[in-house]
Structure 1
Protein backbone atom coordinates (compact mmCIF):
# COMPACT_ATOMS: atom_id res chain seq x y z
CA UNK A 1 0.00 0.00 0.00
CA UNK A 2 2.84 2.43 0.86
CA UNK A 3 4.39 1.75 -2.56
CA UNK A 4 1.21 2.99 -4.30
CA UNK A 5 0.98 6.04 -2.06
CA UNK A 6 4.59 6.96 -2.86
CA UNK A 7 3.91 6.53 -6.58
CA UNK A 8 0.82 8.78 -6.42
CA UNK A 9 2.65 11.46 -4.43
CA UNK A 10 5.55 11.40 -6.90
CA UNK A 11 3.17 11.81 -9.84
CA UNK A 12 1.33 14.67 -8.12
CA UNK A 13 4.55 16.52 -7.29
CA UNK A 14 5.69 16.19 -10.91
CA UNK A 15 2.41 17.68 -12.11
CA UNK A 16 2.57 20.52 -9.58
CA UNK A 17 6.07 21.52 -10.66
CA UNK A 18 5.31 21.38 -14.41
CA UNK A 19 5.74 24.61 -16.37
CA UNK A 20 2.85 26.25 -18.22
CA UNK A 21 3.20 25.40 -21.92
CA UNK A 22 4.06 28.30 -24.23
CA UNK A 23 0.90 27.91 -26.30
CA UNK A 24 -1.26 28.40 -23.18
CA UNK A 25 0.61 31.58 -22.22
CA UNK A 26 0.24 32.84 -25.79
CA UNK A 27 -3.50 32.17 -25.67
CA UNK A 28 -4.07 34.29 -22.57
CA UNK A 29 -1.59 37.04 -23.50
CA UNK A 30 1.50 38.10 -21.67
CA UNK A 31 1.55 38.26 -17.90
CA UNK A 32 2.67 41.90 -18.14
CA UNK A 33 -0.50 42.66 -20.06
CA UNK A 34 -2.61 41.09 -17.31
CA UNK A 35 -0.75 42.88 -14.53
CA UNK A 36 -1.28 46.31 -16.11
CA UNK A 37 -5.08 46.13 -15.87
CA UNK A 38 -6.33 48.61 -13.28
CA UNK A 39 -8.38 46.95 -10.56
CA UNK A 40 -12.12 47.64 -10.39
CA UNK A 41 -12.16 49.65 -13.61
CA UNK A 42 -14.79 48.63 -16.13
CA UNK A 43 -14.42 49.55 -19.81
CA UNK A 44 -16.16 52.70 -20.97
CA UNK A 45 -19.86 51.96 -21.54
CA UNK A 46 -22.02 53.62 -24.13
CA UNK A 47 -25.75 53.30 -24.10
CA UNK A 48 -26.86 50.70 -26.63
CA UNK A 49 -29.38 51.71 -29.28
CA UNK A 50 -33.01 51.17 -28.28
CA UNK A 51 -33.36 48.30 -30.74
CA UNK A 52 -30.79 47.26 -33.33
CA UNK A 53 -32.72 44.29 -34.69
CA UNK A 54 -31.32 40.77 -34.74
CA UNK A 55 -27.57 40.56 -34.14
CA UNK A 56 -25.84 37.85 -36.22
CA UNK A 57 -24.31 34.99 -34.23
CA UNK A 58 -20.59 34.31 -34.47
CA UNK A 59 -20.33 30.59 -33.64
CA UNK A 60 -22.53 27.47 -33.87
CA UNK A 61 -25.22 27.05 -31.18
CA UNK A 62 -24.63 30.57 -29.86
CA UNK A 63 -27.66 31.85 -27.95
CA UNK A 64 -29.15 34.89 -29.71
CA UNK A 65 -27.85 38.20 -28.40
CA UNK A 66 -30.17 40.78 -26.82
CA UNK A 67 -30.46 43.73 -29.24
CA UNK A 68 -32.03 46.14 -26.72
CA UNK A 69 -31.27 47.60 -23.31
CA UNK A 70 -31.85 45.33 -20.32
CA UNK A 71 -31.27 48.04 -17.74
CA UNK A 72 -33.91 47.70 -15.04
CA UNK A 73 -35.19 44.40 -16.45
CA UNK A 74 -36.11 42.02 -13.62
CA UNK A 75 -35.25 38.33 -13.98
CA UNK A 76 -35.50 36.66 -10.59
CA UNK A 77 -36.96 33.42 -9.24
CA UNK A 78 -40.28 35.23 -8.77
CA UNK A 79 -40.45 37.32 -11.95
CA UNK A 80 -39.12 37.13 -15.49
CA UNK A 81 -39.88 40.31 -17.41
CA UNK A 82 -38.40 38.84 -20.63
CA UNK A 83 -41.53 36.71 -20.90
CA UNK A 84 -43.74 39.83 -21.03
CA UNK A 85 -42.67 40.21 -24.70
CA UNK A 86 -41.13 36.85 -25.66
CA UNK A 87 -43.68 34.36 -24.24
CA UNK A 88 -45.44 32.30 -26.95
CA UNK A 89 -48.84 33.79 -26.21
CA UNK A 90 -47.73 37.46 -26.49
CA UNK A 91 -44.87 37.38 -29.02
CA UNK A 92 -47.19 37.63 -32.07
CA UNK A 93 -48.59 40.85 -30.57
CA UNK A 94 -45.28 42.36 -29.46
CA UNK A 95 -43.29 41.29 -32.52
CA UNK A 96 -40.50 39.98 -30.27
CA UNK A 97 -38.90 36.61 -31.12
CA UNK A 98 -40.79 33.77 -29.45
CA UNK A 99 -39.14 31.69 -26.75
CA UNK A 100 -38.20 28.44 -28.61
CA UNK A 101 -39.72 25.04 -27.85
CA UNK A 102 -36.40 23.88 -26.37
CA UNK A 103 -37.07 26.20 -23.41
CA UNK A 104 -40.25 24.26 -22.56
CA UNK A 105 -38.62 20.83 -22.14
CA UNK A 106 -37.03 19.18 -19.14
CA UNK A 107 -33.52 17.74 -19.19
CA UNK A 108 -34.85 14.46 -20.62
CA UNK A 109 -36.54 16.25 -23.54
CA UNK A 110 -40.09 15.83 -22.20
CA UNK A 111 -42.43 18.81 -22.79
CA UNK A 112 -43.37 20.88 -19.74
CA UNK A 113 -46.36 23.17 -19.34
CA UNK A 114 -44.19 26.20 -18.64
CA UNK A 115 -40.66 27.48 -19.08
CA UNK A 116 -38.13 24.89 -17.91
CA UNK A 117 -36.31 25.88 -14.71
CA UNK A 118 -33.05 25.24 -16.61
CA UNK A 119 -34.01 27.92 -19.16
CA UNK A 120 -35.91 30.39 -16.94
CA UNK A 121 -33.02 32.79 -16.22
CA UNK A 122 -32.64 34.20 -19.75
CA UNK A 123 -29.69 36.48 -19.00
CA UNK A 124 -27.43 33.55 -18.15
CA UNK A 125 -27.12 32.79 -21.86
CA UNK A 126 -28.61 35.74 -23.71
CA UNK A 127 -26.49 38.85 -23.20
CA UNK A 128 -26.87 42.48 -24.18
CA UNK A 129 -24.26 43.93 -26.51
CA UNK A 130 -22.58 47.26 -25.90
CA UNK A 131 -19.79 49.23 -27.52
CA UNK A 132 -16.87 49.00 -25.07
CA UNK A 133 -13.11 49.12 -25.31
CA UNK A 134 -11.78 45.61 -24.57
CA UNK A 135 -9.59 45.26 -21.49
CA UNK A 136 -7.31 42.86 -23.37
CA UNK A 137 -7.23 42.63 -27.16
CA UNK A 138 -8.04 39.24 -28.68
CA UNK A 139 -7.82 37.71 -32.14
CA UNK A 140 -11.30 36.12 -32.30
CA UNK A 141 -12.68 35.73 -35.83
CA UNK A 142 -16.34 35.09 -36.42
CA UNK A 143 -17.50 32.09 -38.41
CA UNK A 144 -18.28 34.34 -41.37
CA UNK A 145 -14.66 35.55 -41.52
CA UNK A 146 -13.29 32.00 -41.27
CA UNK A 147 -15.60 30.44 -43.89
CA UNK A 148 -13.60 31.76 -46.85
CA UNK A 149 -10.24 30.54 -45.52
Structure 2
Protein backbone atom coordinates (compact mmCIF):
# COMPACT_ATOMS: atom_id res chain seq x y z
CA UNK A 1 0.00 0.00 0.00
CA UNK A 2 2.83 2.41 0.92
CA UNK A 3 4.59 1.62 -2.38
CA UNK A 4 1.42 2.33 -4.33
CA UNK A 5 1.03 5.78 -2.68
CA UNK A 6 4.69 6.64 -3.32
CA UNK A 7 4.45 5.50 -6.93
CA UNK A 8 1.23 7.48 -7.46
CA UNK A 9 2.86 10.60 -6.00
CA UNK A 10 5.85 10.12 -8.30
CA UNK A 11 3.61 9.78 -11.38
CA UNK A 12 1.65 12.88 -10.37
CA UNK A 13 4.83 14.95 -9.91
CA UNK A 14 6.15 13.71 -13.25
CA UNK A 15 2.96 14.66 -15.09
CA UNK A 16 2.92 18.13 -13.48
CA UNK A 17 6.55 18.71 -14.50
CA UNK A 18 5.86 17.45 -18.01
CA UNK A 19 2.85 19.73 -18.29
CA UNK A 20 4.98 22.68 -17.16
CA UNK A 21 7.57 21.94 -19.83
CA UNK A 22 4.91 21.71 -22.54
CA UNK A 23 3.37 25.00 -21.37
CA UNK A 24 6.79 26.74 -21.32
CA UNK A 25 7.55 25.47 -24.81
CA UNK A 26 4.19 26.61 -26.14
CA UNK A 27 4.64 30.00 -24.49
CA UNK A 28 7.85 30.45 -26.48
CA UNK A 29 10.02 30.90 -23.38
CA UNK A 30 12.35 28.01 -24.09
CA UNK A 31 15.45 29.12 -25.98
CA UNK A 32 18.04 26.85 -27.52
CA UNK A 33 21.73 27.44 -26.82
CA UNK A 34 22.58 27.17 -30.50
CA UNK A 35 21.68 29.84 -33.01
CA UNK A 36 20.88 27.46 -35.87
CA UNK A 37 17.62 25.50 -36.14
CA UNK A 38 17.89 21.89 -34.99
CA UNK A 39 17.42 20.55 -38.51
CA UNK A 40 19.96 22.99 -39.99
CA UNK A 41 23.72 22.87 -40.34
CA UNK A 42 25.48 23.65 -37.08
CA UNK A 43 28.17 26.27 -37.76
CA UNK A 44 31.09 26.19 -35.32
CA UNK A 45 33.45 29.13 -35.19
CA UNK A 46 37.13 28.37 -34.82
CA UNK A 47 37.84 29.72 -31.34
CA UNK A 48 40.67 27.45 -30.26
CA UNK A 49 44.11 28.99 -30.48
CA UNK A 50 46.96 26.68 -29.51
CA UNK A 51 49.58 28.46 -27.42
CA UNK A 52 53.29 27.77 -27.87
CA UNK A 53 54.19 28.73 -24.31
CA UNK A 54 53.24 26.54 -21.37
CA UNK A 55 50.39 27.80 -19.22
CA UNK A 56 50.93 27.99 -15.47
CA UNK A 57 48.91 25.64 -13.32
CA UNK A 58 45.97 27.21 -11.51
CA UNK A 59 46.11 25.04 -8.40
CA UNK A 60 48.39 22.57 -6.67
CA UNK A 61 48.12 19.04 -8.12
CA UNK A 62 46.46 20.30 -11.34
CA UNK A 63 47.33 17.91 -14.18
CA UNK A 64 49.63 19.69 -16.65
CA UNK A 65 48.01 21.03 -19.80
CA UNK A 66 49.16 19.65 -23.16
CA UNK A 67 51.07 22.36 -25.09
CA UNK A 68 50.55 20.71 -28.50
CA UNK A 69 47.69 19.43 -30.62
CA UNK A 70 46.47 15.88 -30.02
CA UNK A 71 43.82 15.90 -32.77
CA UNK A 72 45.33 12.93 -34.60
CA UNK A 73 46.53 10.98 -31.52
CA UNK A 74 45.28 7.45 -31.05
CA UNK A 75 44.34 6.79 -27.43
CA UNK A 76 42.18 3.70 -27.11
CA UNK A 77 42.30 0.21 -25.60
CA UNK A 78 44.95 -0.98 -28.06
CA UNK A 79 47.24 2.07 -28.35
CA UNK A 80 48.31 5.23 -26.55
CA UNK A 81 50.32 7.51 -28.80
CA UNK A 82 51.27 9.81 -25.90
CA UNK A 83 53.61 7.11 -24.58
CA UNK A 84 55.73 7.29 -27.75
CA UNK A 85 57.27 10.48 -26.28
CA UNK A 86 56.32 10.62 -22.61
CA UNK A 87 56.98 7.08 -21.31
CA UNK A 88 59.95 7.02 -18.91
CA UNK A 89 61.95 4.81 -21.27
CA UNK A 90 61.93 7.32 -24.19
CA UNK A 91 61.17 10.76 -22.75
CA UNK A 92 64.82 11.73 -22.34
CA UNK A 93 65.65 10.92 -25.96
CA UNK A 94 62.57 12.79 -27.21
CA UNK A 95 63.04 15.89 -25.05
CA UNK A 96 59.56 15.43 -23.59
CA UNK A 97 58.50 15.60 -19.95
CA UNK A 98 58.45 12.21 -18.26
CA UNK A 99 55.23 10.95 -16.76
CA UNK A 100 54.92 11.28 -13.01
CA UNK A 101 55.85 8.15 -11.09
CA UNK A 102 52.25 8.03 -9.88
CA UNK A 103 51.35 6.87 -13.39
CA UNK A 104 53.37 3.69 -12.75
CA UNK A 105 51.60 2.64 -9.54
CA UNK A 106 48.73 0.19 -9.44
CA UNK A 107 45.68 0.64 -7.21
CA UNK A 108 47.54 -0.96 -4.30
CA UNK A 109 50.54 1.37 -4.65
CA UNK A 110 52.78 -1.31 -6.18
CA UNK A 111 55.45 -0.06 -8.62
CA UNK A 112 54.95 -1.18 -12.25
CA UNK A 113 57.35 -1.19 -15.22
CA UNK A 114 54.61 0.01 -17.58
CA UNK A 115 51.95 2.66 -17.18
CA UNK A 116 49.08 1.62 -14.92
CA UNK A 117 45.79 0.77 -16.57
CA UNK A 118 44.10 3.42 -14.42
CA UNK A 119 46.31 6.06 -16.09
CA UNK A 120 46.12 4.76 -19.67
CA UNK A 121 43.65 7.34 -21.01
CA UNK A 122 45.71 10.55 -20.68
CA UNK A 123 42.92 12.85 -21.86
CA UNK A 124 40.80 11.95 -18.84
CA UNK A 125 42.92 14.43 -16.88
CA UNK A 126 45.14 16.25 -19.38
CA UNK A 127 43.66 18.58 -21.98
CA UNK A 128 45.30 20.67 -24.71
CA UNK A 129 45.92 24.20 -23.54
CA UNK A 130 44.12 26.76 -25.65
CA UNK A 131 43.20 30.40 -25.42
CA UNK A 132 39.41 30.12 -25.62
CA UNK A 133 36.57 32.29 -24.38
CA UNK A 134 34.97 31.21 -21.10
CA UNK A 135 31.70 29.32 -21.47
CA UNK A 136 30.41 30.65 -18.15
CA UNK A 137 31.54 33.38 -15.77
CA UNK A 138 34.25 32.12 -13.45
CA UNK A 139 35.46 33.79 -10.27
CA UNK A 140 38.09 31.15 -9.40
CA UNK A 141 41.41 32.57 -8.24
CA UNK A 142 44.48 30.40 -7.77
CA UNK A 143 45.87 29.94 -4.29
CA UNK A 144 49.46 30.87 -5.20
* Alignment TM class, shorter chain as reference: 0.5 to 0.7
Q: Are the equivalent residues in 1 in contact too, given 2:49–2:132 (CA < 8 A)?
A: no
Q: Are the equivalent residues in 2 in contact too, given 1:80–1:121 (CA < 8 A)?
A: yes
Match of 1:23 in 2: none
Deviations 1:12-46 (A, max 9, x none): 24653469xxxxxxxxxx953x4444353333145
Change (3 A) 1:14 1:95: farther
Q: CA RMSD in A?
A: 3.1
Mark the structure with the bigger radius of gyration: 2
Note the C-alpha offset of 1:95.
3.0
Q: Which runs of 5+ in 1 are unaligned?
A: 20-29
Q: Which runs of 5+ in 2 are unaligned?
A: 19-28
Q: Are the equivalent residues in 1 in contact too, given 2:66–2:127 (CA < 8 A)?
A: yes
Deviations 1:98-141 (A, max 9, x none): 1112211223333223111121121232111334456xx41113
Taking structure 1 as the reference length, the TM-score comes to: 0.65
Match of 1:12 in 2: 10
Taking structure 2 as the reference length, the TM-score comes to: 0.67
Note the C-alpha offset of 1:79.
2.4
Q: Are the equivalent residues in 1 in contact too, given 2:50–2:129 (CA < 8 A)?
A: yes
Q: Are the equivalent residues in 2 in contact too, given 1:75–1:121 (CA < 8 A)?
A: yes
The total of aligned residue pairs comes to 129
Separation in structure 2 between the aligned mates of residue 120 and residue 4 of structure 1, nearest angstrom: 48
